[in-house]
């Protein structure tokens, strides 16, 4: 029976979670990136092999690249986008030459991900990542001051945002801005001025245009990937709905169906993130696993809990709204059908126990992910027994 490959995201030598910690968690594969390479520049074979040697020295394997970041010029198809695509293709070829089998990327405009707090207190005292529409509206309308931002929100959300803005302290507003802008690639600390500039690049780009740009990019890099023997895995939008006036094109089943059929080859595929996709009540995750099938090349397994307004926090891996039992069962069935093991990692995790006293990368503290990995590992073993029967 084919089991999932257990992997762990590692941010390199400066990660507070060491490779020794990863080994003790029981993972065998590492998911990492060359974060020190400037945004849009080439990953050289020398730099890739240097990181690979660090991983292998600890008896681990570099299983997945996450991520080679896509330059904004490529997403908007403006400026030197062709040059950046060529650089991207070179990085793909170089990763393949170093025998790293999967490359993950995303096509989210401006922000790689968006939350409104990184320390949402759970009933057990642990801390989770959280997305709240009212707080996003406070940021968008009153801090960022995006033109006509209020039209992006319901009257109820806009009214709540106005009241909340009046009651927030200067410190609370600054903290909110820092969190929302934390997902801007290539920025040490984002600024509202810089963010507005980036948003302006998308003034004339709607969902159809962005979808065309995505497929153009996928076609270009797929050719390099097929020649090199490496798989490509696009990560869903996070969260999976339009925010800050930006379109989203990797959020729902019809999105995946569109680009996988438009650029249909052996390498163009998906990083199936149950947390990102599960933040939308419209997504049926077990059915999506069935529908995407062999085009799933990598898995992020985590859970979320949503309320009626669409706010969500990241729940325990086996808690929340996503039926993780049904999802993992479909994944295991898929693996047996196609005779392969998919790499997965426990995605995010609560900051808990001793990690509450430590400085950690948001969502990537050790103990919460250790718990998630153990839970998914146990769930998998139990489900494999049912599949054998």
pLDDT band at 191 (very low <50, low <70, confident <90, very high): confident
Q: Indicate if 244 and 363 belong to the same structural domain.
A: yes
- Phi, psi of 248, deg, nearest 5: -130, 135
128 falls within a domain = yes
Q: Can you spell out the DSSP letters for 17-83?
A: S-HHHHHHHT--EEEE--TTSPTT----HHHHHHHHHHHHHTT-EEEEEE--PPPHHHHHT-TTHHH
Catalytic residue flag (residue 15): no
Q: Indicate if 99 and 248 belong to the same structural domain.
A: yes
Q: Would you call the peptide bond into 380 cis, given omega within 30 degrees of 0 as the criterion?
A: no
State the catalytic residue, choosing from 88, 105, 202, 364. Answer: 364
Instruction: Report the pLDDT value the prediction gives residue 5, as an integer from 0 to 100.
Output: 98
Q: Are 321 and 303 in contact (CB under 8 A)?
A: yes
Average pLDDT over residues 128-132: 98
196 falls within a domain = no
Average pLDDT over residues 225-252: 97
pLDDT beyond 60 at 186 = no
Q: Indicate if 132 and 165 belong to the same structural domain.
A: yes
pLDDT beyond 80 at 57 = yes
Q: Indicate if 331 and 219 belong to the same structural domain.
A: yes
Our CA angle for 94, 271, 289, nearest 5°, is 145
Between CA 263 and CA 267 the distance in angstroms is 10
Instruction: Report the pLDDT value the prediction gives residue 335, as an integer from 0 to 100.
Output: 97
Q: Would you call the peptide bond into 239 cis, given omega within 30 degrees of 0 as the criterion?
A: yes
| pLDDT tens track for 21-50 | 999 999 999 999 999 999 899 999 999 999
State the catalytic residue, choosing from 88, 120, 273, 297. Answer: 273
Which residues neighbour 188 within 8 Å (Cβ) at sequence distance 6 or greater?
Answer: none
200 falls within a domain = no
Between CA 328 and CA 293 the distance in angstroms is 13
Number of domains in the chain: 2
Tell me what percent of the chain is helix, strand and coil, each rounded to the nearest 5: 50, 15, 35
Catalytic residue flag (residue 273): yes
Q: Indicate if 297 and 337 belong to the same structural domain.
A: yes
Tokens 């507005």 locate to 196
State the catalytic residue, choosing from 71, 297, 317, 348. Answer: 348
Q: Indicate if 59 and 102 belong to the same structural domain.
A: yes
Q: Indicate if 220 and 336 belong to the same structural domain.
A: yes
Q: Which residue has the higher pLDDT, 191 or 334?
A: 334
State the catalytic residue, choosing from 135, 237, 347, 355. Answer: 347
Instruction: Report the pLDDT value the prediction gives residue 182, as an integer from 0 to 100.
Output: 83
Instruction: Report the pLDDT value the prediction gives residue 252, as an integer from 0 to 100.
Output: 98
Average pLDDT over residues 173-188: 81
pLDDT beyond 90 at 114 = yes
| pLDDT tens track for 315-361 | 999 999 999 999 999 999 999 999 999 999 999 999 999 999 999 99
Domain that holds residue 370: 5-113+205-388
Q: Indicate if 141 and 239 belong to the same structural domain.
A: no
Instruction: Report the pLDDT value the prediction gives residue 190, as an integer from 0 to 100.
Output: 66
Catalytic residue flag (residue 81): no
| Residue 80 CA to its chain's centroid (Å) | 26
Give the residue among 17, 5, 12, 125 at the shortest CA–CA distance from 363.
Answer: 17
State the catalytic residue, choosing from 98, 120, 235, 237. Answer: 235
């Amino acid at each position: 029976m084919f089991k999932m490959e257990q992997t762990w995201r590692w941010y390199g030598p400066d990660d507070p979670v060491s490779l020794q910690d990863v080994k003790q968690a029981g993972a065998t594969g590492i998911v990492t990136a060359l974060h020190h390479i400037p945004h849009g520049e080439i990953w050289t074979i020398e730099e890739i092999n240097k990181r690979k040697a660090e991983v292998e020295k600890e008896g681990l394997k570099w299983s997945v690249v996450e991520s080679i970041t896509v330059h904004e010029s490529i997403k908007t198809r403006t400026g030197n986008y062709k040059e950046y695509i060529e650089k991207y293709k070179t990085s793909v070829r170089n990763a393949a030459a170093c025998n790293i089998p999967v490359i993950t990327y995303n096509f989210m405009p401006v922000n790689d991900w968006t939350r409104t707090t990184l320390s949402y207190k759970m009933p057990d005292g642990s801390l989770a990542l959280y997305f709240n529409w009212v707080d996003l509206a406070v940021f968008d309308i009153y801090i960022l001051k995006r033109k006509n931002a209020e039209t992006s929100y319901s009257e109820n959300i806009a009214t709540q945002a106005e009241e909340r803005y009046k009651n927030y302290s200067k410190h609370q507003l600054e903290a909110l801005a820092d969190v929302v802008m934390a997902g801007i690639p290539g920025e040490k600390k984002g600024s509202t001025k810089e963010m507005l500039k980036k948003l302006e690049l998308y003034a004339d780009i709607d969902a159809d245009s962005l979808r065309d740009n995505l497929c153009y990019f996928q076609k270009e890099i797929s050719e390099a990937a097929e020649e090199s023997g490496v798989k490509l895995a696009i990560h869903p939008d996070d969260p999976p709905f339009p925010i800050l006036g930006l379109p989203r094109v990797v959020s729902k089943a019809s999105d995946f169906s569109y680009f996988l059929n438009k650029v249909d080859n052996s390498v163009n595929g998906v990083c199936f993130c149950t947390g990102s996709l599960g933040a939308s009540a419209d997504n049926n995750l077990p059915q999506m696993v069935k529908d995407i099938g062999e085009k799933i090349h990598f898995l992020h397994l985590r859970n979320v809990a949503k309320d009626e307004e669409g706010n969500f926090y990241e729940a325990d891996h086996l808690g929340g709204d996503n039926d993780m039992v049904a999802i993992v069962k479909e994944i295991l069935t898929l693996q047996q059908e196609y005779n392969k093991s998919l790499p997965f990692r426990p995605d995010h995790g609560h900051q808990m126990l001793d990690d509450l006293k430590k400085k950690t990368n948001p969502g990537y503290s050790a103990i919460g992910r250790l718990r998630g990995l153990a839970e998914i590992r146990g769930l998998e073993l139990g489900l494999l027994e049912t599949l054998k029967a």
